[in-house]
Amino acid sequence: MLFGKEGFLKKNQGKFLLGYELAKSHVQISYIKMGEKEPETFSAVPGSEEYNIPLTLFRFADTGLWTFGKEATERKGDSRGIVFENLLNLAFREKTVKAEEEIYETAALLALFVKKSFSLLTLGGTLDQIGACTFVIDSPEEEKIKVLRKVIEFLQLPNIEFHFMGKEECFFYYTLYQDRELWKNQVYLYELEQERLKSYCLIQNHNTTPVVTFIEKKSYPSLPGRADMSADEKEERDEKFLENLQEDMEGKIVSTVYLIGDGFGGEWYQKSVRYLCTKRRVFLGNNLFTKGACYGLRQLFLPGEEKQEFVYLGEDKLMANVGLLVLQRGEETYLPVLDGGSSWYESSKEWDFIIEQENRLRFQITPLDGKNVVYSEIILNGLNLKSRKYTRLHMEISMETREKMVVKIWEKGFGEFYPSLDQYWEESIRL
C-alpha cells in the first residue's frame, strides 16, 4: 500500500484507476473509481460493446492539429495530412520515423495518442481525475518496458502513477475477483485474435501458504477463418478448435472457460461450445484483461484481507527476496529491499542512510523456496571512513531485467561536518 488505506482513499476518492491495454492495432480502456467495486469499459458507442479504439493518429498538414482513434482511421488516404498506424509496434521497432520531411519520435507519437485517449474518460475535464494507470501488454519484455517508460516521460503527468502488467497477471486478478465457485478448480482462457489462438490455464497450489497461483500459456496452429466463411469452412474451424479443447481438458477438472478476442465473432464454434458447457461455466467477451488490470491496481493500493491468501508467480516475477544486512545496535539485521513475487519491472527502492566503520554493503539473496541463499558485496572504493568517521549515502535499487539488479549509490556527506565529495558507485548483481 503506497499511502495507507485511509490516506490513499482521501487523496484519490472519486478518481479513476485505469486498465489500459496496448495491442497491435488498438487500445482498450477499463476504469474503476476509487470507492466503487466493479470496473467499466469505455465504449466508443454508449450502450454497445465497441471497446477497441484504433491505435492511429492523423495530423492535418495545414493546421498541425491531431486527431486519433476511429476518426484518424477514417482519414486514411486523406491527402490533407499524415496518418500514423500501429503506433505500439512502430515504437518497439524504431526510435524515429520520417514523414513529409519531418522526423517524429515514435515514443512521443504513442504518448500523444495515450494522452488524447485519456480525455475520453475525463469528458473534457482535467487529467487530475486519473489517479493511476496500468499498461497491459502481451509480453512485458525488458526492451518493451524501456520504450513504455520513455512514453511515460513524454506524457509528463507526474500526478498519475503508472504501472505495467502482463496479460497472464490480468487474468489472475480478474479471476480472483469473481465468485469463488467459478475458480474452485482450474480455469481456462482462450484468446483468438484473427487466426492466432492462445490459451491461459490458471492453476492453484493449495499445499502452500499463501496459495501459489501460476498460469500455463500455450499457442496453437492457426485457425484459418474469414468474416465471410462458408458453412463448411465454419464447421471445419469448429472441429479444429474442438480438438484443441478436448486435448487440453482431458482428465482435468475445469470450472470455467473464457473466450475472448475478435476471432470468436460469427458464432462458428457451435460444437465447441456444446462441449465446453458440459459441467463448466463459459463466458464470451473481450475486455477481461483491462478489467483484470483495474482489479490489480485496486489490490495494489487497497489490498483486501480476503485476497492475501493468494499470490501469483509468473515468468515476470522475482523468484527471490533481496535484503541488506546492516548493523543495528551492534547486531547484524536484515533490512528487506525487494520482495520475491513482485514484477521485476515494478521492483525498485531508494532511500538515504548513514554508513560508518565499513565501506561495504552486503546483500542477502534468498530464493522463494528458501534454498541456496547467496550473499553479494559492494565495495565502496575510495570512501575513507577513518578520517570522516561516517557519511550519508543515497541508494537507488532497480531491476534492469528479471535477473539483473542495478544498485546506484551517491555519497552525500554529513552536513557542515563532512562536506560531500561527490562520489558515485554503480554495481550490477545477478539474482
d(CA 324, CA 192): 45
More confident residue, 90 or 227: 90
Q: Furthest-apart CA pair in the chain: how many Å? A: 86
pLDDT tops 90 at residue 14: no
Packing angle, helices 288-301 and 167-176, rounded to 10: 70
d(CA 279, CA 265): 24
Which residues are CB-contacts of 48 (< 8 A; sequence separation ≥ 6)? none
Which residues are CB-contacts of 337 (< 8 A; sequence separation ≥ 6)? 322, 323, 324, 349, 363, 397
Q: List pLDDT tens digits, range 294-334.
A: 999 988 887 776 677 888 988 889 989 999 998 777 788 99
Q: Residue 123: pLDDT band by 50, 70, 90 thresholds? A: low
Question: Which of 1, 4, 6, 29 shows the shortest CA–CA distance to 17?
Answer: 29
Q: Say if residues 178 and 187 touch (Cβ distance below 8 Å).
A: no
d(CA 195, CA 226): 9
What is the structure's pLDDT at 63?
A: 92
Q: Say if residues 288 and 329 touch (Cβ distance below 8 Å).
A: no
Q: List pLDDT tens digits, range 230-256.
A: 999 999 999 999 999 999 999 999 999
Q: Residue 4: pLDDT band by 50, 70, 90 thresholds? A: very low
Question: Which of 390, 296, 306, 408 shows the shortest CA–CA distance to 348?
Answer: 408
What is the structure's pLDDT at 12?
A: 67
Strand 26-33 relative to strand 53-54, pairing: antiparallel
Residues forming beta bridges with residue 413, ordered by sequence position:
392
Q: Residue 6: pLDDT band by 50, 70, 90 thresholds? A: low
Average pLDDT over residues 200-209: 90
> What length does the chain have?
431
Residues forming beta bridges with residue 57, ordered by sequence position:
68, 84
Q: Say if residues 294 and 32 touch (Cβ distance below 8 Å).
A: yes
d(CA 256, CA 178): 11
3-state SS string for the chain: CCCCHHHHHHHHCCCEEEEEEECCCEEEEEEEECCCCCCEECCCCCCCCCCCEECCEEEECCCCCEEEHHHHHHCCCCCCEEEECCHHHHHHHCCEEEECCEEEEHHHHHHHHHHHHHHHHHCCCCHHHEEEEEEEECCCCHHHHHHHHHHHHHHCCCCCEEEEEEHHHHHHHHHHCCCHHHHCCEEEEEEEECCEEEEEEEEEECCCCCEEEEEEEEECCCCCCCCCCCHHHHHHHHHHHHHHHHHHHCCCCEEEEEEECHHHCCCCCHHHHHHHCCCCEEEEECCHHHHHHHHHHHHHHCCCHHHCCEEECCCCECCEEEEEEEEECCEEEEEEEECCCCEHHHCEEEEEEEEECCCEEEEEEEECCCCCCEEEEEECCCCCHHHHCEEEEEEEEEECCCCEEEEEEEEEEECCCECCCCCEEEEEEEC
Q: Which amino acid is at 425?
A: W
What is the structure's pLDDT at 2?
A: 36
pLDDT tops 50 at residue 218: yes
What is the structure's pLDDT at 369?
A: 77
What is the structure's pLDDT at 3?
A: 39
Q: Residue 203: pLDDT band by 50, 70, 90 thresholds? A: very high
End-to-end CA distance of the chain: give it in Å, rounded. 25
Q: Which amino acid is at 42?
A: F
Q: List pLDDT tens digits, range 375-393.
A: 999 999 988 777 777 788 9
pTM for the predicted model, two decimal places? 0.87
Q: Residue 7: pLDDT band by 50, 70, 90 thresholds? A: low
Give the chain's domains with CATH numbers. Answer: 5-166 (3.30.420.40), 170-291 (3.30.420.40), 320-430 (no CATH)
